[in-house]
Amino acid sequence: MPNTQRRTFGVFLVTILVLTGVAIAVSNLSYCTRAANVPAGDPELAEPGWRLAQPVTFENLTIFPVVTTQDADTSGFATLDEALASGEALITEQGAEMRRARDGAIAPNYSSGPQVNQLALINRGKRPLILLAGEVVSGGKQDRIIGKDRIVPAGGAPLPLDVFCVEHGRWTPGAVQFSAALAMVNPGVRDKAAVAQNQSEVWAAVRGEGNGVGSSVQDLPINGRNYTQITQLPATPRGTTQTVTVEAAPAPVSRAAVAGAIAAAGTQDYQKIYQHSPVGASIDTFTDEIARRFNRETSGLKGEHVVGVVVAFSSEVAWSDVFASSQLFDAYWPKLLRSYAVEAVTRPQVRRAASMDDARAFLRPATGHIEEESEPGVYRWRKQAEGRLAEIDLDALSPKPFTLHWLRVLHGDGYAHPQIVE
């Protein structure tokens, strides 16, 4: 090859190498810039990739969004509300075999007596059905709530479904089929179903007995004035105990008022419990304002998705619902928010919000005794509890194992007796 051609080829080769290097550098810079703009997950939280966004607060309710860059595909699962609305799922009293009359109407043919704590469910759809403890189904002889998180596979025979009654004293015929109430009971009741698994405690919580989930609030007369003393009980294994005294306004709605609304609702849609009453006005105020602030806070997320929340009442972090996808979170969020608001309005209005550190500590990996239940190839339910902390995972096992719903709650009674601090 002549010298002139060799020089020309050399210049061409060098040019190609330089341009290639520039392209690689630009690509790496672009990747680094994108990575810098997407916050990494917090390694101290229960699941890798989770991060807490800035909280929103209204009155005594604070909600911390849980966000992640990972967003699982959960379109292959159906929620209870959508399955009941579409007819893909059918729930009846236990022992009621459904038959169609000549005029096309569906009527029950009881082969055995109905039971308070068990219904019959048929998943006639093509997708597995997600059930969460505390979801309300309305109709039958009593309104009921789902007793435990689980997944119901598509097809198959009628399934005995464990439930709890939320209408103590009523046992009268209602609608033949149960319908979705589009509601979740408030945490004070849901805790007794999901964690305690006890009908008597569910009824007591519905009646407003006890202080609710994680509540340690007591009204005390001090020097002739009404104060509320709040004891910060250990909310996490690494928590500390401190006592403070602050002045507080009474709860806008008593637990007894909520119980009265439930008793008066009969077989109506559970949503109607909080409509056209002082209860409804307070709940609407809470949900509308929190929803507005929550949407404003999370609307600017880039490369991340909201998959759950951590919930605090005043300074006490007491609850967390997190899902595998933003799709599932969006489906459950309206009724979850309403349930948190119900809990908030039944607690004294102490405007002393929990901190980001409190919420982050609440999401640290669980420790304690483990219980498990499973249906091979369908789901696994796992509860881990230590002291007043309980964590429940609902794992789908098909098409591959992953956690669909993660619940953590500060639960139980037997609170400490605080010392008065003036």
Tokens of 106: 């569906």
Query: Residue 78 has which token pair?
Result: 């159906």
**Strand blocks (E) in 69-194:** 78-79, 89-93, 96-100, 106-110, 118-123, 129-131, 135-138, 144-146, 150-152, 159-165, 179-184
Q: Give 148's DSSP letter.
A: S
Q: What is the DSSP string of 175-223?
A: -SS-EEEEEE--HHHHHIIIII--HHHHHHHHTT-S--TT--EEEEEET
> How far apart are alpha carbons 274 and 184 in whole angstroms?
12
Per-residue pLDDT at 242:
42
Q: Give the per-residue pLDDT at 396.
A: 97
Find the distance separating the first CA and the last CA of the chain, reported in whole Å.
Answer: 97
C-alpha 403/C-alpha 223 separation (Å) is 52
- List per-residue pLDDT tens for the chain, 422 residues long: 555 555 555 545 445 544 555 444 434 433 333 333 345 566 667 677 899 999 999 989 999 999 999 999 999 999 999 999 999 999 988 766 554 445 544 444 444 556 778 899 999 999 999 999 999 988 777 788 999 999 999 987 888 999 998 766 666 666 567 888 888 988 998 999 999 988 889 888 877 775 555 544 333 232 333 322 332 333 334 344 444 444 455 555 655 566 555 555 544 444 555 554 556 666 888 899 999 999 999 998 999 999 999 999 999 999 999 999 999 999 999 999 999 998 888 777 777 889 999 999 999 888 899 999 999 999 999 999 999 999 999 999 998 999 999 999 998 653 332 222 32
Name 108's Cβ contacts closer than 8 Å, sequence gap at least 6. 92, 93, 96, 97, 98, 99, 176
| pLDDT at residue 216, as a whole number | 40
What is the reported pLDDT for 168? 63
Q: What is the pTM of this model?
A: 0.75
The pLDDT value given to residue 65: 97
Those residues whose C-beta lies under 8 Å from the C-beta of residue 211, and which sit 6 or more positions away, are 217, 413, 415
SS3 333: helix
The pLDDT score that the predictor gives to residue 150 is: 97
In this structure, what token pair is assigned to residue 20?
A: 């290639």
Instruction: Output the CA angle 388-390-392, nearest 5 degrees.
Output: 170
65 forms beta bridges with 309
Q: Are 92 and 78 in contact (CB under 8 A)?
A: no
What DSSP assignment string belongs to 210-276? S--TT--EEEEEETTEEEEEEEE---STT---EEEEE--BPPSS-HHHHHHHHHHHTTS-GGGGGSS
The whole-angstrom separation of Cα 8 and Cα 259 is 90
DSSP 3-state of 327:
helix
Each domain of the chain, given as residue ranges in start order, spans 51-410
The structure tokens 């002045």 sit at: 247
What is the C-alpha separation between 60 and 145, in angstroms, rounded?
A: 27
Half-sphere exposure of 89 (CA within 13 A, CB side): 28
Amino acid identity, position 35: A
